[in-house]
Amino acid sequence: MAAHRVLRWAAAGMAVLAAATGCTGAGHRPDRVRPTLSGPAEPVPGAKRGGTLTILQQADFVHLDPQRQYVTHANAVDQLMVRTLTMLKNDPRTGRQVLVGDLATDAGTDVHHDGKTWRYTLRDGLRYADGSTVTAADVAYGVARSFTPQLADGPHYIQQWLTGTADYDRTYRGPYRGGAKTPPGVTVSGRTITFHLAAPHPDFGYAASLGTTAPIPARTDPGLAHADGYDTAPPATGPYRVSRYQRGVQLTLVRNRYWDPRTDPVRHDYPDRIVVRIGADPRQQTDRLIADEGADRYAVSIDGVPPERVAGVLADRSLRSREVVGFWPFVTYLMINTRRVAGIAERRAINYAIDKAGYLDAIGGPSHGEVASTLLSPTVLGFDRYDAYPSPGHGGAPAKARQLLGGRHPTLRYAYPDTSKDRAAVKPMVASLRRAGFRVVTTALAAAAFYPAVARPDNRYDLYPVSWGADWPTGTTVLPPLFDGAGIRSNGTNWSLLSVPALTDRLRAVSAEQTAPAAGDWATLDRDIMRRYAPCVPLVYMKNLSLAGSRVHGVFQSGTAGSPLFYDSWLG
């Protein structure tokens, strides 16, 4: 599920911002649903057509194939080319992300009002870059591709919800090698596609905004042996298409002349071209954008300002109008292995002991984020700030922790990734635990091996920092993945190994509720999990700081997507 996303996103190492005053951060408020919205998208005030927008990033994309893509930066670029049944649209008046129909006429019809049957009707006038018509059968075929084990890099929500099992590919393994072109649980009639789920999932409309529902025409599919071709040129249904892609060097997008803005309530095509230049590291990107010369005046950094440049950027008032700032959907936690640290008093003592302010300072200070006290991020619908284990200035309460330990001095094994940031962060963490009476043994693990090691149910560590981001802004993609007992397996995401049947039942019950009333129940569960079980220590709500050139407008930071987005961008 979203662990794939976490490993790649958390490794990106983007600098983040808490105190900047730039006005281009729009992702900090949770979203709502707007059932029906027609195209074209409202014009961006002052926007002009023309020019080339340049996106600077260090690493190449792993995938652009929509069914395999599950990384923030790739998603931001894919949105310019690839459309899905639904999409989260930024509302500039409120700063909220609103769920709307994209390929579909609306955000979905809950046919029987039970969250199990979802119907979508495609808009008229949808075409690919070759002029051919987009059909509901193409959407079904795209979903079918996502069942293919060899293409399982993307999200798995819809596949699991259709089959009712995490082993969704046990019997149906995609449309290749004789498999049906329409997956189990999906029916197509004309322009309408219907999903028949095994259990209620009121959040289905959000899952339909992921690349799983991007249309792929079966008639032009080159087959499994050549599936990588969609990573270099996915079938374009949005305002842009791939003109040229030199892996590791540059991706060039040009307008898709068959995209009809009257069918699209979200996107614009203001720039003539969008060029992604690959290779410059974050420091080089930042220095070029500070200098603001030549073509870099029309560029934006997607990797963010590195820690060593943050202070200078924040001190330079001339850059404030060019800051792209806002929350990520990620929270960093210190996970507690509840199998090894079984006593609730000891886990509560860890929560009281930890110096969160020291941790934040060690990883870059307020430029990295904001001290966290909840499991849910501020980007999630229903977020309600509380602190179950408060301490003065978030610096830890060692006396309270020692009281809970009752004179005992437990030994804790603390594992962390062997990176410069984590080596710095471990020092205040260990110091605060020792002040509270714990004995601590630290283990540095190779960064690439860290998540696989701590995701093992038999791992031999007591504490380890992890980051988790919601796939869409509700508690459904935060609390169940982290604390459902069924998630305890190798490469699972229940890193605390908490397994409480009553809690699992509550998580599943709230997941079946309608999105709006569920928001308050997720907030209640957030409190209950921390107060009753203390399975982790929330450390930081992560934020982003990037820069844009002086001629770039309309780029904004999305707390839902976890990346700057470009569909409102223009140059002038």
Q: What is the three-state SS of 433-489?
A: HHHCCCEEEEEEECHHHHHHHHCCCCCCCCEEEEEEECCCCCHHHCHHHHHCHHHCC
Q: Tell me the residue type at 489.
A: R
Pair 476, 458: CB distance under 8 Å = no
By DSSP bridging, strand 411-417 and strand 439-445 are parallel
pLDDT at 72: 87
Q: Please tell me the predicted confidence (pLDDT) of residue 275.
A: 98
Average confidence (pLDDT) over 281-300: 97
Phi, psi (rounded to 5 degrees) for 228: -65, -15
Q: How much is the average pLDDT of 32-44?
A: 80
d(C-alpha 188, C-alpha 183), whole Å: 11
* H/E segment holding residue 540: strand 536-547
Show Cβ contacts of residue 130 under 8 Å, excluding neighbours closer than 6 positions.
258
**CA–CA separation, 243 and 92 (whole Å):** 31
Ranking 7-11, 311-315, 550-554 by mean pLDDT, the lowest is: 7-11
Q: How far apart are CA 212 and CA 201, in angstroms?
A: 16
Picking from 181, 201, 202, the residue whose alpha carbon sits closest to that of residue 193 is 181
For 440, other C-beta atoms within 10 Å of its C-beta total 18
- The dihedral built from the CA positions of residue 59, 65, 71 and 76, taken in this order, carries a sign that is positive
Q: What is the CA radius of gyration of the chain?
A: 23
Kindly list the distances between the CA atom of residue 12 and the CA atoms of 7, 134, 419, 444, 467, in Å, as whole numbers in the listed order: 9, 35, 12, 19, 12
Arithmetic mean of pLDDT, 4-17:
34
Please state the φ and ψ torsions of residue 137, each to the nearest 5 degrees. -65, -30
pLDDT in tens, 424-453: 999 999 999 999 999 999 999 999 899 999
Q: Is 34 exposed, middle or buried (0-12, 13-18, 19+ CB in 10 A)?
A: middle
Helix (H, G, I), strand (E, B) or coil at 163: helix
Q: Using one digit for the tens of pLDDT, what is the confidence trace for 489-532?
A: 887 899 999 999 999 999 999 999 998 889 999 999 999 999 99
pLDDT band at residue 298 using 50, 70 and 90 as cut-offs: very high
pLDDT of residue 3: 33
pLDDT at 299 over 60: yes
Residue 23: pLDDT over 90: no
d(CA 523, CA 382) in angstroms, rounded, equals 6
Residues above pLDDT 70, as percent of the chain: 94
Tokens of 535: 């399975």
Residue 450 token pair: 């860290």
Contact 411, 509 (CB under 8 A): no
As a whole number, mean pLDDT of residues 314-327 equals 93
The two structure tokens encoding residue 290: 């500070």
- Please check the confidence at residue 414 and state whether its pLDDT lies above 90: yes
If one compares 309 and 390, the residue with the highest pLDDT of the two is 390
Residue 338 pLDDT > 50: yes
Cβ–Cβ < 8 Å for 565, 87: no
pLDDT: which is higher, 20 or 40 = 40
> How crowded is residue 406: how many other Cβ atoms within 10 Å of its Cβ?
10
Lowest-confidence segment of 357-371, 390-404, 448-462 by average pLDDT: 357-371
Name residue 299's beta-bridge partners: 54
- Higher-confidence residue of 72 and 15: namely 72
The pLDDT of 226-230, averaged and rounded, is 93
DSSP 47: -
- Listed in sequence order, the DSSP H helices in 208-343 are 229-232, 282-291, 307-315
Cβ 77 vs Cβ 63: under 8 Å: no
pLDDT band with cut points at 50, 70 and 90 for residue 391: very high
More confident residue, 72 or 133: 133
25 pLDDT band, cuts 50/70/90, is: very low
**Complete domains list, the chain, with CATH:** 64-234 (3.40.190.10), 327-543 (3.10.105.10)
Helices (H) and strands (E) in the chain, counts: 16, 22
Yes or no: say if 67 and 212 are a contact pair by the CB < 8 Å rule. Answer: yes
Whether residue 52 has pLDDT greater than 60:
yes
Above 50 in pLDDT, residue 157? yes
Overall size of the chain counted in residues: 572
C-alpha separations of 553 from 44, 178, 192, 300, 511 in Å: 10, 49, 37, 10, 38
* Most distant CA atoms of the chain, gap in Å: 75
User: So what's the pLDDT on residue 35?
Assistant: 57
Average pLDDT (166-187) is 95
Counting residues of the chain whose pLDDT is more than 90, the rounded percentage is 81
5: buried, middle or exposed (CB in 10 Å: 19+, 13-18, 0-12)?
buried
Q: Is there a contact between 110 and 202 (Cβ–Cβ < 8 Å)?
A: yes
pLDDT band at 33 (very low <50, low <70, confident <90, very high): low
Average pLDDT over the chain, rounded to whole?
A: 91
Both structure tokens of 115: 């969250």
Between β-strands 536-547 and 323-336, what pairing exists: parallel, antiparallel or unpaired?
Answer: antiparallel
pTM, to two decimals: 0.87
* Rounded-to-integer distance, Cα 163 and Cα 169, Å: 9
In this structure, the number of other CB atoms found within 10 A of the CB of residue 120 comes to 26
Give the span between the Cα atoms of 244 and 85, in whole angstroms.
Answer: 27
Binned at pLDDT 50, 70 and 90, residue 365 comes out as confident
